[in-house]
Amino acid sequence: MKKFLKSFVYSFKGLTYAFKTQLSFRVHCLATILVILLGLYTKLNSSEWLWITVAIALVVVLELINTAIEILVDLVSPQQNSKAGAIKDVASAAVLVAGIMALVIGLIIFVPKFI
């Protein structure tokens, strides 16, 4: 049980690292707060909250995975390498696609509330 609980400490260390070192992670955290506040203001229903939550989680999880991939690539390939760069670009593209999807979900949910 102690080992299980200690794993949470490592997870929070990872979140803290990402927040302190990654501007894009901080931007996503700020966007999350703003979307939650907007959701509370517009009184989203359960279904809408579910979609918003999935969109937020997808973007944040992929941002964390992207950060981990960047750290790993920098560790194993500290010198300039085109394949290492491609790995980083593809991981970043996954975050971009998720962000675009999250934006579309947000527009579908929020725009009708202001029309």
Question: What total number of domains does the chain contain?
Answer: 1
Q: Decide if 11 is inside a domain.
A: no
The DSSP code sequence of 18-82 is HHHH-HHHHHHHHHHHHHHHHHHHTT--HHHHHHHHHHHHHHHHHHHHHHHHHHHHHHH--S--H
CATH code: domain of residue 88? 1.10.287.3610
* Residue 37 identity (one-letter amino acid): L
Reading the block at residue 49, the tokens are: 């909250």
pLDDT score of 2 more than 90:
no
Whether 86 is in a domain gets the answer yes
What is the C-alpha end-to-end distance of the chain, expressed in Å? Answer: 52
Say whether 88 counts as a known binding-site residue: yes
The answer to the question of whether 48 is labelled as a binding residue is: no
| pLDDT tens digits along 67-110 | 999 999 999 998 989 999 999 999 999 999 999 999 999 999 99
* Per-residue pLDDT band at 6 (split at 50, 70, 90): confident
Residue 35 within a domain: yes
Catalytic residues: 63
> pLDDT, tens digit, for every residue of 15-69?
999 999 999 999 999 999 999 999 999 999 999 999 999 999 999 999 999 999 9
> 108: which residues sit within 8 A by CB, 6+ positions away?
none
Which residues span the domain enclosing 47? Answer: 21-110
Q: Is residue 8 part of a domain?
A: no
